[in-house]
Amino acid sequence: MIELRNVSKSYAKGRVKAVDNLTLAVPAGEIFGFLGPNGAGKTTTIKMIVGLLRPDAGTIAVEGFDVQREPLRSKALTTFVPDTPAVYERLTGLEYLNFIGDVYGVPKRERLDRISKWLEKFELASAVGSPIQSYSHGMKQKIVLIAALLPAPRVMVLDEPMVGLDARAAHHMKAMMREHCDAGGTLFFSTHIMEVAEKLCDRIGIIHKGRLIADGTMEDLRARNGTEQSLEHIFLELTNK
């Protein structure tokens, strides 16, 4: 469960309002797709949820724990995949996964099972002993995803996770997202790929110029806009205003 209440964030001494009074709740078991044009406030919102940025106003809670007041408790339940896979390039893939396992306190048995499973799914077993700096962009994205899955978190926050993934990995990724939420987890992710959002998400939010301008299931969005057309069409229409 993720809850944002009246969250605002601005840059350049308040001149640029990145997020403006955002209120939003994503319950457990839901895949929430967060859409918006470039610079709309998606990444800023995501960074505030995971504790990378501090909101100027409002509160954010993960599974009931305030991100600002109880950061360690909320972080222990959350994992994050950023839009660019900036990871420790001098470590091998396995050293990185071990590091994540250590800091999230994943026991050895579960750690081994999960690492084996996801390495196989994402076809990274042959590279896990090599330094991450030798990986391609897609491989780096995969190792960050595996690291995010390793603690089996209650909440996953993903910023454009499909970028750089090959078709097979993207397929596994989508299946994983569904599994995660079917098991009672919460998933908040941003994307520019409308087809993925339309097919995969239980609920969609559209942010534009820092404000949430639409929020609901695909059916809700269609009904509210009086159209039977695709998400892409609705998105373009809403963000053109």
Our finding on whether 52 is near other proteins (CB under 8 A) is yes
Our finding on whether 82 is near other proteins (CB under 8 A) is yes
Our finding on whether 24 is near other proteins (CB under 8 A) is no
Q: Which part of the chain contacts other proteins (CB under 8 A), choosing from 44-52, 164-172, 197-205, 224-232?
A: 44-52
Closest distance of CB 223 from other proteins, Å: 37
Our finding on whether 71 is near other proteins (CB under 8 A) is yes
Query: Whose CA is closest to 41, among 20, 57, 24?
Result: 20
- Choosing from 56, 66, 99, 238, the residue that interacts with other proteins (CB under 8 A) is 99
Our finding on whether 14 is near other proteins (CB under 8 A) is no
DSSP for residue 92: B
Our finding on whether 239 is near other proteins (CB under 8 A) is no
Q: Which part of the chain contacts other proteins (CB under 8 A), choosing from 127-135, 162-170, 173-181, 198-206?
A: 127-135
Our finding on whether 98 is near other proteins (CB under 8 A) is yes
**DSSP alpha helix (H) spans, 127-230:** 137-149, 167-182, 194-200, 218-225
- Residue 96: phi and psi, rounded to 5, are -65, -45
Q: Which part of the chain contacts other proteins (CB under 8 A), choosing from 32-40, 55-63, 78-86, 202-210?
A: 78-86
- Choosing from 12, 14, 108, 226, the residue that interacts with other proteins (CB under 8 A) is 108
Closest distance of CB 56 from other proteins, Å: 12
Type and span of the H or E element at 5:
strand 2-11
Please name every residue paired with 188 in a beta bridge, in sequence order, or none if there are none: 32, 157
- Other beta carbons less than 10 A from residue 230's beta carbon: 14
What single string gives the DSSP state of each residue in 35-88? E--TTSSHHHHHHHHTTSS--SEEEEEETTEETTTSHHHHHHTEEEE-SS----
Query: Whose CA is closest to 200, among 180, 214, 183?
Result: 180
Closest distance of CB 13 from other proteins, Å: 10
Helix (H/G/I), strand (E/B), else coil: 171:
helix
- Choosing from 5, 8, 21, 51, the residue that interacts with other proteins (CB under 8 A) is 51
Distance CA 171, CA 99 (A): 27
Name the residue nearer to other proteins (CB basis): 156 or 176: 156
Q: List interacting residues with other proteins (CB under 8 A).
A: 50-54, 68, 71-73, 75-76, 78-80, 82, 86-88, 90-91, 94-95, 97-108, 111-112, 115-116, 125-131, 133-134
